[in-house]
Amino acid sequence: MRVIVLGSGVIGTSVAYYLARSGHDVTVIDRQPGPALETSYANAGEVSPGYSAPWAGPGVPMKAIKWLLMQHSPLVVKPMLDAALWRFCLQMLANCNAEAYEVNKSRMVRLAEYSRDCLRELRDETGIRYDERTRGTLQLFRTQKQLDGVAKDIEVLKSSGVPFEVLDRKGFVEVEPGLAETQHKFVGALRLPGDETGDCFKFTQSLAKMAEALGVRFRFGVAIEGLEQAGSRITGVRTAEGLLTADQYVVALGSYSTALLARFLGKGGLAAGGEVKDGGNPTVSGRFGPGQVVKY
Ligand SMILES: Cc1cc2nc3c(=O)[nH]c(=O)nc-3n(C[C@H](O)[C@H](O)[C@H](O)COP(=O)(O)OP(=O)(O)OC[C@H]3O[C@@H](n4cnc5c(N)ncnc54)[C@H](O)[C@@H]3O)c2cc1C
């Protein structure tokens, strides 16, 4: 099958690698001169399934108001007449309760755990190196209130079977002796031994080379302008270098995916293969629609 993957960040490149490994004829298009030069270039490098959590949660609306009033605010919302923005805010608000938080977090943890296990399998299979470390992560808490606040997360970790430890000062200094001098600044820690870290840019650059060795063609410096559609089928990708066609299309443009698919969203979904269907949730890369982020 001929497949065009739109975007060569960590998601597009991984999809291309797995499709080529399954014997498909894959072309990847990206406007940058190489893989992983946008969001996947410099992230925090955490592979932390246990920390996967929805932004929407109990207490977030009050926190958001406080943040918006801060001088160096971690949250900026430009009020404008944009239906998509207000629809997003209302959906966010509707999910700021304990029930929705638990459901959304448990789904994200399951997905992230599966993704982490695929990463381990890929590492064993290919020997890919990306400054990875597999010694877990430690979240430190400055106040008792913060430490008490992870109780709801711990319930999800327990129900998802994710190993964890809640550590006191003696405990986290044993795990990380470098904290001995500053232990008085923290009341405790949550350790997730199954977590890892690594360089997402290096990972994606190396995986792209492996995908190329499997026959994947990367077309860099090509801007995507839109999708061609005939009836209920996507029939091609309009680019600055002309129309490109395939049997199937995977959209992995990161935060730019929604804009490309905007005219499809809300009019019924896209099923795998770019066919428009009524009433379904939008699915683009065969499994997840825009807005559901899989952390690499
Ligand atoms: C500051 C920060 C820290 C983060 N830390 C972590 C972390 O510790 N752990 C973690 O798991 N996640 C982290 N993330 C999230 C993670 O980096 C992203 O989820 C991931 O990189 C998204 O990959 P992607 O392939 O979907 O998108 P991208 O890497 O953005 O790839 C999309 C590609 O599409 C291309 N593209 C877009 N539009 C067009 C167009 N019109 N024409 C042609 N090409 C186009 C771009 O050039 C780009 O290469 C962090 C994100 C940020 C911003």
DSSP-assigned states of every residue in 24-53: -EEEEEESSSSSS-STTTS---EE-GGG--
Residue type, 67: W
- Rounded mean pLDDT of the chain? 87
Residue type, 56: A
Q: From ligand 1's centre to the CA of 182, what distance in Å?
A: 34
Classify residue 21 as exposed, middle or buried by CB count within 10 Å of its CB (0-12, 13-18, 19+): middle
Which residue is associated with the tokens 């190993």? Answer: 163
Ligand 1 atom at minimum distance from 112 CA: 11
How many Cβ atoms sit within 10 Å of the Cβ of residue 17? 25
Question: Could you tell me the pTM of the whole model?
Answer: 0.85
Which residue is associated with the tokens 């500053």? Answer: 182
List of residues 6+ apart from 11 with CB closer than 8 A: 40, 252, 254, 285, 294, 296
pLDDT tens by residue, 225-269:
999 998 888 999 999 999 999 999 999 999 999 889 887 665 444
Angle in degrees, 0-180, between the axes of helices 200-213 and 10-21, rounded to the nearest 10:
30
Q: Are strands 46-47 and 248-251 parallel, antiparallel or unpaired?
A: unpaired
pLDDT tens by residue, 174-190:
999 999 999 999 999 99
Residue type, 68: L
Going from the N-terminus, what domains does the chain have, and what CATH number goes with each?
Answer: 2-43+202-295 (3.50.50.60), 46-126 (no CATH), 137-197 (no CATH)
Interatomic CA distance for residues 44 and 27, integer angstroms:
29
The tokens describing 20, both together, are: 């080529």
Q: From ligand 1's centre to the CA of 9, what distance in Å?
A: 6
* Contact between residue 115 and residue 294 where contact means Cβ atoms under 8 Å apart: yes
Using a 6 Å CB cutoff, which residues line ligand 1?
7-12, 29-32, 36-40, 43-46, 223-224, 252-254, 256, 293, 295-296
Residue-wise pLDDT tens for the chain (296 aa)? 999 999 999 999 999 999 999 999 999 999 999 999 999 999 999 999 888 888 898 888 998 888 888 888 888 888 888 888 888 889 999 999 989 988 998 899 999 999 999 999 999 999 999 999 999 999 999 999 899 888 888 888 888 889 999 999 999 999 999 999 999 999 999 999 999 999 999 999 999 999 999 999 999 999 999 999 988 889 999 999 999 999 999 999 999 998 898 876 654 444 444 444 333 333 333 333 333 333 33
Interatomic CA distance for residues 238 and 258, integer angstroms:
16
Nearest to 210 by CA among 74, 76, 52, 21: 21
Interatomic CA distance for residues 138 and 2, integer angstroms:
44
Q: From ligand 1's centre to the CA of 12, what distance in Å?
A: 10
